[in-house]
Amino acid sequence: MAKIDLTGRVAIVTGAGAGLGRQHALELAKRGAKVVVNDLGGTRDGVGHSDAAANKVVDEIKALGGQAVPNYDNVATIAGGENITKTAVDAFGKVDILVNNAGILGTRPSTRWRRRTGTRWWVSTSGAPTA
């Protein structure tokens, strides 16, 4: 079965600094997509911020011969969603693909998890601007 060619497409992958998001970003790049690697860089329970995870994945994509830029905005906010999209449009001129993978994994009480998940779902369905 032939792989899907994504040459010329632009993808945003949220939560792309590790795990499944990283794998999504790498695979999209291998198939020719230009990738915005978004990751806030916090801990598994949503605390803190670091540029390191997104930068590492961008470096991996570039080492494979692909094109990628990092973005460190928080997908849980409207401004964050707008800035992620702006990064894609500024770097590559458009957005074709969105993989909304970002999330928080931790051992916090379930009510807090539901509240965070609800926020993320609301932003992903109503706050993500189109390019």
> Is 5 within a domain?
no
pLDDT per residue as tens digits for the range 82-96: 999 999 999 999 999
Number of folded domains that form the chain: 1
What pTM, to 2 d.p., does this model score? 0.77
> Is 80 within a domain?
yes
Whether 13 and 21 have beta carbons less than 8 Å apart is answered as: yes
Q: Can you tell me which residue has the tokens 């932003």?
A: 123
pLDDT per residue as tens digits for the range 12-38: 999 999 999 999 999 999 999 999 999
Q: Which domain holds residue 96?
A: 10-127
pLDDT over threshold 70, residue 125: no
Here the CATH number for the domain that contains residue 114 is 3.40.50.720
> Is 55 within a domain?
yes
> Is 4 within a domain?
no
pLDDT per residue as tens digits for the range 39-63: 988 766 666 678 889 999 999 999 9
CA-to-CA separations, 115 to 41, 102, 108, 109, in angstroms, rounded:
20, 15, 11, 10
